[in-house]
Each structure stands twice: as C-alpha cells, then as structure tokens.
Amino acid sequence: MKCIICGKDHNMDTCPVCKFPRLNTMGGVSIEDVIEQNREQIDTFRNRFLDSLSVYIKLFYWEENNEQLVNSKCEYIKIGAGNELLNKEKWLDNLFSRIQETKSIDVSLLIQYEDGEKELSVSIPNIEQVGLQQIGAVIYPDMEIKLMLRNDQISKESEKYLLFQ
Ligand SMILES: [Zn+2]
C-alpha cells in the first residue's frame, strides 16, 4: 500500500522512508474515515517530513585539459526544501549553458530527508535554441516531482517522477 505521507509503496508496519505507521482498520471502518479522523496528526507529520526534505541538483564542472574538455568536479546545489517546492515552482538563479545535440537531458537529483537520502534521475526535453538556461522544480501533493528548463523565450518540462518509489 502507498504511504499516505511520502508515496512509498510498502508492506511494512512503518514506512521505510518517512516512518509513518501503516494505517489499519477494524470493524469495517474505511481507510478514508481513518484518514479523516486523524487528519490533524497526518498533516502535522506530513509537514514535518516536508520540512526535513531537501532537493539538490548535481552539477558538473568542465575545464580544458590538453585541448579536451574534462569533468573537473561535481557539486550538489540545493533547489529547495520540500515545503518550498510543494505546489510552487522554484527556479535556481544559476544560469547554465545549453547542452548541444541531445534531445533530452538527464539530471541527477539528490533527495535528502529525515533519516536518509536517495538519488533520482530525471529526464527533461532539451531546449533547441542556443542560450543560457535556468532549471526549476515543483513537488505535487502526491509526492511527485517535476523539473523545468527555461531560457528567455521558451520552457520545457519533465514528466512527473515519484520521489519515493
Ligand atoms: Zn512514507
């Protein structure tokens, strides 16, 4: 069953990602009723989890070495916390040069949360025009993330990806 907090599909007593207990029912009470009756606790738990969550993007730096471009270092830079990205598009101020001759760009994300972290690879359609680009992200209430690319003329977006599958 999908965790109602983080969306992780699991069969354990507590969610392996966010530690929310699995909801059980007795006497024919529906799971929707259980959720409704515990709405306040569930919302508090979800807020705390979203506060603990941060999304980072992996950047690669390139330098010229003997007339060849080589990857000199990698760095993770934070796009935002879970609560900043929930239902809100957030864009990094950094400008990136366009990656040429590729139909899509695979972006590596690092998702950090209370007790752990995971990597997620997200594919975004490339922008065809030359120009500097910005990258942004948004998280939906069902705990899916979408990345966007834009330049001063157009924008592209990825599919939605479950943060915790
Ligand atoms: Zn969970």
Same domain, 43 and 61: no
Count the Cβ atoms, other than its own, within 10 Å of residue 48. Answer: 15
- pLDDT computed for residue 97 by the predictor: 82
Reported as a single tens digit per residue, the pLDDT across 1-47 is: 889 999 999 999 999 999 999 888 888 888 889 899 999 999 999 99
> Could you tell me if 89 and 43 lie in one domain?
no
* Residues 41 and 63 reside in one and the same domain: no
**Amino acid residing at 57:** I
Instruction: For residue 32, give its domain range.
Output: 1-52
- CA of 148 from ligand 1 middle (Å) equals 26
Q: What is the 3-state secondary structure of 31-97? A: HHHHHHHCHHHHHHHHHHHHHHCEEEEEEEEEEEECCEEEEEEEEEEEEEEHHHHECCCEECCCCEC
87 and 140 both lie in a single domain: yes
Q: For residue 6, how far is its CA from the centre of ligand 1 (angstroms)? A: 4
78 and 40 belong to one structural domain: no
pLDDT attached to residue 83: 94
**Residues 117 and 93 both lie in one domain:** yes
The alpha carbon of 4 and the centre of ligand 1 are apart by a number of angstroms equal to 7
Report how many domains make up the chain: 2
If asked whether residues 44 and 61 sit together in one domain, one would say no
Residues 36 and 66 in one domain: no
From the CA of 10, how far away is ligand 1's center (Å)? 9
pLDDT tens digit string along 123-161? 999 998 888 999 999 999 999 999 999 999 999 999 999
79: amino acid identity, one letter: I
Handedness of CA 74, 80, 81, 86 (dihedral sign): negative
